[in-house]
Every structure is written in structure tokens, then in C-alpha cells.
């Protein structure tokens, strides 16, 4: 992502409440709301070495699921309000609850933990708490 910082002129470029996910979409939405344009370089190639500097792959998966849900709620709350944020995330909360319970019955510990972390991320967001989970803290497996 390339930015003309003189033209954007935000006091803060990224919303520091986001840790993972949707921070670039939030930034683009704020740029568009100012009437500025966003250009896409369709032929550009970017190579992303996902998870290269992080710990256990499963810790990253738990952290990723937690943050995806937290960020989804926060982004929608920030831009569209409380009702929209609940409307968009409530189904995902119920779905994770059901999948978590099924995982217990089927004794699928990893699936259980993934859905548990998805729910915990949403519960944290519903309570209005900041994003705090980091990969090294996601180690209850």
C-alpha cells in the first residue's frame, strides 16, 4: 500500500485498536469518506511469508480466529453502529457455539479450541474491551 501522506493528512494512519484484520479496509474507508481516490495496481505482485516470524502454527491459528471475530465486530461497530455490528456477528457467534459443542461431542480438540477462540474474540469485542490476544498468549492447547 502506498500513501501520499501529505494528501491523506491523518493524525494517525492506522487505527491502533486493530491488531490483525480489517485495518487496511478501515483506512481505505476513511480515505474514501474524505473524497480521495484509491487506485489498484492490478499487475503488481506481493509475496507474503505468512506466519514466518511467529511461534507455533496452531497458536497463530487460534490468534487469527480470535482477531478475525474481534476486528469484524469492531470495524462494523465503528462505521455502522452497535445494531449493525451485532447483526453481522451474532450468526457467527451462534455458529461457533454450535461447532464448539459438536467438537466436544466428536472429541475434536483443535476444532473445539478454534471455535472457542472465535467466541472469545467476539465476547471480548461485545464487552467493549481492547484487542489484546497475541500468539504467545494463545497456548491453552
At 23 the pLDDT is: 92
Tens of pLDDT, residues 34-69: 888 888 888 988 887 766 655 568 888 899 999 999
Tens of pLDDT, residues 95-127: 999 999 999 999 999 999 999 999 999 999 999
Max Cα-Cα span within the chain: 56
pTM: 0.82
Residue 137 pLDDT exceeds 90:
no
Cα angle 94-114-98, degrees, rounded to a multiple of 5: 25
Mean pLDDT, residues 12-37: 87
Instruction: Give the confidence band of 139 by pLDDT, cuts at 50, 70, 90.
Output: low
CA pair distance 45, 30, nearest whole angstrom = 25
**What residue spans define the domains of the chain?**
1-141
Instruction: Give the confidence band of 5 by pLDDT, cuts at 50, 70, 90.
Output: confident
At 138 the pLDDT is: 53
Q: Show the 3-state SS of 99-137.
A: HHHHHHHCCCHHHHHHHHHHHHHHHHHHCCCCCCCCHHH
Q: Are 121 and 65 spatial neighbours (Cβ–Cβ below 8 Å)? A: yes
Element (H, E) at 87: helix 82-105
110-125: burial string, b at 16+ Cβ within 10 Å, e else = eebbbbbbbbbbbebb
Q: Could you give phi then psi for residue 129, rounded to 5 degrees?
A: -85, 155
Amino acid at each position: 500500500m502506498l500513501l501520499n501522506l501529505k494528501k491523506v493528512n491523518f493524525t494517525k494512519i492506522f487505527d491502533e485498536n486493530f491488531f490483525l484484520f480489517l485495518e487496511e479496509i478501515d483506512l481505505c474507508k476513511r480515505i474514501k469518506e474524505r473524497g480521495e481516490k484509491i487506485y489498484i495496481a492490478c499487475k503488481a505482485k506481493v509475496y507474503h511469508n505468512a506466519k514466518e516470524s511467529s511461534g507455533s502454527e496452531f497458536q497463530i491459528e487460534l490468534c487469527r480466529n480470535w482477531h478475525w471475530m474481534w476486528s469484524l465486530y469492531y470495524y462494523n461497530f465503528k462505521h455502522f453502529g452497535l445494531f449493525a455490528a451485532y447483526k453481522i456477528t451474532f450468526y457467527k457467534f451462534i455458529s461457533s457455539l454450535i461447532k464448539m459443542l459438536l467438537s466436544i461431542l466428536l472429541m475434536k480438540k483443535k476444532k473445539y479450541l478454534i471455535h472457542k477462540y472465535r467466541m472469545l474474540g467476539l465476547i471480548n469485542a461485545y464487552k467493549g474491551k481492547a484487542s489484546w490476544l497475541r500468539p504467545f498468549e494463545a497456548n491453552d492447547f
